[in-house]
Amino acid sequence: MAKIPELRSQYIWLVCLILYLIPIIHPIGAPFQISDITKKIYNYIENLPEGSIIVMGGSGVFAFDFEPGAAMIACIKQMARNKLRLVAFPLGVESLQFHKFCVDAAKVLEKDGGPWKYGIDFVQLPYVPGYDAALISFLNDVHGTVKVDAYGTPIEELPLMQDLHDYRDIALWICPHWSFPLIVRFVTGEKGIPSVMFAHSYSYSVFAPYMMIYPDKVWMTNGFLGGAQYEKLVGIKGLGHAAVDSYAIISAAYIIFVVLGNLTMLTRARRGEEEEVAA
């Protein structure tokens, strides 16, 4: 009987590490279905008139914000491709860095070879303290709430901000943060602006009822899978694909290791029986 090599744990974990890193370096594109909700978000943005203003804003950024970042980056690419405009409005001190990460990763600004000109197509506003009070003030009077952008430039000097005065100028609000209840309450509930949450997988289960309360006004994607779905619609392979590919490959590897482990156990048991008979 052929001898099956012993499965040492350190070898197993080394193989898993290599399999995990492969799709991170080069996403493969494991097959998956695209949810109807993700399609609705994509189609809504795809059908917005050229020049429409979208706001990306909220608060609550943590170490695992790569999850909503996957869909947010793909969505920013879609916006730039369709000549839409984006204003980032952080309601938390940590949100500004996350907004910058998403825009830089999307490579849509002129400095990165993209079509967007800062101040004309995209503006990064500074953190404004006050949370719900800051949001309410922004919706009612943008220029009365914010005087300069994140780099200290007066917003009166930025062409994009000349077209954004209050909530009536906002076509869509995107929240890639945990503060979605705040956005739904004031942005959608009170002002009637559609809102999207590129959600962590946990927050999706918590905040999903908002989609039933405000049908065709509130939409959410679900974690890395939702990000991969959005990437597929946009036509790119990014963080979402890397995560889904890793899950798929590692899951298959676990099954293989379980089968090999059981074969090893059965081989040893049979060998033991043969030795007893020979004795």
- Ranges of the chain whose pLDDT falls below 70: 1-7, 20, 29, 62-64, 247-248, 253-254, 268-269, 271-279
The per-residue pLDDT for 67 is: 81
Q: Identify the pLDDT of residue 265.
A: 72
Do residues 82 and 45 make contact, with C-beta atoms less than 8 angstroms apart? yes
How far is residue 69's CA from residue 102's CA, in Å, rounded to a whole number? 6
CB 111 within 8 A of CB 79: no
> What length is written for the chain?
279
The pLDDT of residue 34 is 86
Per-residue pLDDT, 236? 82
- pTM for the whole structure: 0.81
Give the residue from 163, 154, 76, 87 showing the smallest Cα distance to 118.
87
Residue 40: predicted pLDDT? 95
Residue ranges in the chain assigned as alpha helix (H): 9-25, 36-46, 66-81, 95-106, 132-140, 142-145, 180-183, 201-207, 209-213, 223-234, 239-278
